[in-house]
Copies of this chain bind each other. A is one copy, B any other.
């Protein structure tokens, strides 16, 4: 684990990369304690603040965690799905909010992914997951539900659908796609009219999953996608030209 002494700038970035490489290569294993900041600063021949900046970079990527006190220090993190989720969500949200990605593109990706899950979910979904979906649909039909609550329930419904596939990697990737679309989705669920339609779609999906009818799930998701994209277009139109 060494750094290039020729490039004087960005020492902390170089040190972070060196440690990162050591973690990825398996040189440092999960839960292993890194040398203390004082030792690292000796090892890399830099000051402690520089080492700390490097460690904070790694902490920002959830690669390490730190503990204070005797026998404390920086430890290699077991990258949890939770941590990966939140990173994925932050990244996806930024990609969309900075207009690097259009809503249509995100929507297409999201439904393509969800349809991929649906096929597996029709095979594997548990009774419990189906019950969750039913419960969410029921909640959605409650009058007086706020847009935020409706939207959250919507997300929970689709998450249960995706979790039914029993593949955490897919769940994780979909989380990013769905979360990134939330702001506009909130706008979409504003009218009671569209809520009814969305609930109808959800019921169809739940029924199809109960029957383990993957084809029916797929066609319904296709319909829901085109409906969603239409609504998003209408909302965008209305914002440009509020009649």
Contact = CB atoms under 8 A, between A and B. Distances in A.
A177 B176 CA distance: 14
A168 interface: yes
A112 B171 CA distance: 12
Interface in A107-123: 108-109, 112-113, 115-117, 119-120
Interface residues of A, number: 57
Given A53-B56, A78-B100, A84-B91, A112 B116 contact: yes
Contact of A84 (B95, B117, B119): B95
A30 B98 contact: yes
A165 B116 CA distance: 15
Nearest to A83: B91
Nearest to A84: B91
A88 interface: yes
CB-CB nearest 7 A-B residue pairs: A109-B169, A57-B60, A112-B116, A60-B60, A116-B116, A53-B56, A79-B94
